[in-house]
Structure 1
Amino acid sequence: MIRRKRTRYTDLDYEKLQKRVEESELTLNEIEKIIDATTNSIYETKTITAGPIREVEICPIFLKKDIPDELRLKRTKEAQKNLNNKNAVKYFVRKSNSNFGEGDYYITLVYLNKYIPKNYDEARKHVRNYIRKLNRIYKKQQVQNGIPEKKCKNIKYMFVTEISQEGKGRYHHHILMNSVLSMETVEDAWEYGRRNNIRKIYPDDLHITGLAKYLSKDPKGKKRWGCSKNLKEPILTRSVSKFSKKKINDMSKYQDLIEHEMEKVNPGYKFIDAKVFINTYNGKPYIYARMRKIKE
């Protein structure tokens, strides 16, 4: 059996395949259960955990020599830009969910006419100085509470600087921030405007996915974002043995099974929703599901 498998794949491709299944401790014979012989593809399950939200993506991956022609097509610059933007939004949403939640702040900072920045660099400088000012206040507060200066923490934040292309094109900033300072202190520290908006975050079933998508989408204007260095990253794991070929095909045909199977392999999480896409070139299903951690 081992010799026959080696003849079906190039040495390089086979080594890559073996490396992908090692973490699941699959034997070479067990690989046969997950390989799709009609397309020389295997299904990979990607699990992304961001705070209480868990996303599961199941899609076919191909050995190098068997990549379908449509996957070899070179993307146009516009298509690549759209893909980059899509991935950037996903990352922003996942990082937001990983670090902020109930009681934290959603802040919008605006400008008085006399302080409107000339360009993005100046606007970014303003928000950076604002964060530094808040960190100084926070550090002073911690020292007063008996925390040694070397052990003082910084504020956690993510900010989006936006300039609208509708009419005047005014700059403003959106910020997600942990609520370690009072709302009054946070508002008073911004010296360039007076009609600011500071609200507490109240998550829903998808935590703060909706808010993060709103902040990161760019339908008409320009947006750029930054964040503090003390944030958690979303946790990504990959597996080629979590679901068998048969299980994946059954879930794509009978979508009621997705909820059962997702909760079965993700104990402690409650199913929210799922989508199934069928690739028009190879007829293979792609499954995307979202779940939320059950509160203890």
Structure 2
Amino acid sequence: MAIPHTALETKAILARLGLKPERRLGQNFLVDERTRDRVITAAGIRPDETILEIGPGLGALTEALARHARRVVAIEKDGRLVDFLTGEFAGTARVMIVNGDIRRVDLAKLVSEEERNAAREARGAKPRTDGWSVVASPPYYLVAFLVRKLLDLAYPPRHITLVVQKEVADRLAAGAGEMNLLALAAQLASRVAKHDRISRRAFWPQPDVDSTIVTLASHAPDKRPIPAAQEEEFFNLVRPLFQTRRKQLAGSLGRTLKLTPPQTIKLLTMAHIPPEARPQEISVDKWVRLFRILEAHRI
């Protein structure tokens, strides 16, 4: 058997393995080589870095990633696919297949082990400094969890490349007017950019909607507008405000912090936020400014 690159090859291999795509696992296999190449380009892979691939499927992207990176660690939940992938990549040390659920995998430990591997390969020389990156095509329900899990790591990935439903890409890259908690979390920790739109025909079985490639380039720890140590405090402030997103901030902020209307309006004005504004209308910069003002006033 060999890694499939077309819908016909994918169907044939699945039939030979006696497998059917699991919709509940979001199994839509990449069957278009041009799309594969566009994902590789967007990922901006460095030759000395490790790529963590989440959900490799039948390995169409894994194979290409291994040609560009020092090593690919592919995490696959479906044990049936793990057996296939392990056999196909048995002859290369550049690919490691891990059977696991990304929601439960200890990424900090996995990355640390890869760092030690790199040091051993360097044979006493300075280990690589290109870090690690992520490439994934997660199902809708997993995106928010995955983004937060990756960006909250003490040693986050240098770069994250996701193939997601267009509406999810729009949410991640949202600006003032469409701001949401997912976008706020992503943009505080990284530079988010949307890339090519991907036709649903690039996958088999075809999903119901088209996808978009979106990338998140992590900010250095000292460049984050909200330090990691203060993120929990920041989101404790903004989360309840987004839960009442249709209400004006002058009212919801005042109730949340138990402030009088004049106090609330003064603080919002200092942050250059109109009192009648709603949470989704506020940019990341203004949310950060408001947090800093509240911090300075010990509120």
* TM-score, normalising length: structure 2: 0.25
* TM-score, normalising length: structure 1: 0.26
Pick the structure with greater CA Rg: 1
